[in-house]
Structure 1
């Protein structure tokens, strides 16, 4: 079973656009059953259109906020998802994974790019995870850096924001699941001047999740059609989980990611 989270970073005016065709390829190549897409911007796509276009069981949409934001949560028939609460920055759900008859929580987050709502966002998340403390919980999406080595560029990490975020994550009882693939998931694309690279997109989980799914493995996918890379979470991967993943995220090889895509698409 696998899940994808991607900040697609742009106007999604047509489900036949290159960006949405890329989403369809990601879903097909990874056999993803849950897909979280953030920052759909100007999109006015209807739920029924998403279901038909991506062959889904159901979908949930948080409308755009003006000309920015916008969240989609998409899922296949293996899941029965109940959205408990949503905002422009998150979707909080309980999800029944039917093949195992197992209830899990999914916390899908799109961070506030202006950082003014970060604390209130995570207070809502904390209230949700406390309410379902005995349920395996996975948190995924566009989050934040968690140590100073997760940024490369002309300016250093904002330590206040980083430490505040780490404290909020700790209060929720989450740990970082590590990753395989490139070290950075976002770039400002200023390659001719002063490029910046950061690891913003990640997966976190509580202790119950780690006990229930000890072989969960996270992959950073190739960065295409956006300044963010999609992240793929596989719950039954045969690859070993990276060591020291609670703080230092360890990079792996892109070869594994391309093999996944080639084997499925080809």
Structure 2
């Protein structure tokens, strides 16, 4: 099974749709999670139909930002557990596999408000005791080696993110491909790149799917890379191991 997550930074252009269509055709994700869609439920329904997905869950954007959408194919059984402006949490069954949780997550873009994101993670960890995969744009890094350019991040912010993941029993899945998933796309000495988008999972999810991997795909219209998570309980490609922290 394949799960794709992407902070699209707005779906209001034809280029964004063409990019999504290419991603769908090239990687065939069975679940697609889109962050910062900045479009209405009606527009997302059009995207769902044109991309060939069977089901969808949508959180509309507020003001000029936000919006989360989860799309899935017909061979996936999805039951909604909870949602906010920052997450969609579902129960998943696919290909006769055991039931597990999938959370699409968007960390608050303002550092002073990010503690609300970690409080949400804590709350989600205390309900529905199922193996869990959480993917998305956390808008934070775990250490300053996950950042290149600009000022160093405050150690307090880094510690708060680490503590949140530890409290929830979530472990980073690592990655294949380029390290940094976000860039300010500057071509001068002001270039800043960070590893903001990732997949994290619980120990029992890792046991259920021990050969899963996260791939950082190419940067296209957005300033974020899309991520492809291959959920696998058997080995497919020898030597194709994710880089883990």
* 1:147 matched residue in structure 2: 143
TM-score (norm 1): 0.85
* 1:13 matched residue in structure 2: 12
CA–CA distance in structure 2, aligned partners of residues 116 and 82 of structure 1: 33
Q: Does 1:214 align with 2:210?
A: yes
* 1:226 matched residue in structure 2: 222
Q: CA deviation at 1:78?
A: 2.0
CA–CA distance in structure 2, aligned partners of residues 115 and 225 of structure 1: 25
CA–CA distance in structure 2, aligned partners of residues 203 and 209 of structure 1: 12
Query: Which ranges in structure 2 are unaligned for 5 or more consecutive residues?
Result: none
Q: Does 1:115 align with 2:111?
A: yes
Counterparts of residues 1-266 of structure 1 (less than 5 Å): 1-10=1-10, 12-13=11-12, 17-41=14-38, 43-46=39-42, 47-97=44-94, 99-133=95-129, 135-143=130-138, 144-236=140-232, 237-239=236-238, 240-242=240-242, 245=244, 248=245
**Cα offsets for 1:196-252 (capped at 9, x unmatched):** 000000000000110000000110001111100001101234254336x2xx3xxxx
RMSD: 1.6
* 1:256 matched residue in structure 2: none
* Contact 1:9 1:38 survives alignment (8 Å): yes
Query: Which ranges in structure 1 are unaligned for 5 or more consecutive residues?
Result: 249-266
Q: How many residues align?
A: 239
Q: Which 10-residue stretch deviates more, 28-37 or 229-238?
A: 229-238
* Contact 1:152 1:197 survives alignment (8 Å): yes
CA–CA distance in structure 2, aligned partners of residues 131 and 189 of structure 1: 39
Q: Which 10-residue stretch deviates more, 111-120 or 88-97?
A: 111-120
Q: For residues 167 and 197 of structure 1, do their structure 2 counterparts lie closer, same or farther at Cα, with a shift above 3 Å needed?
A: same
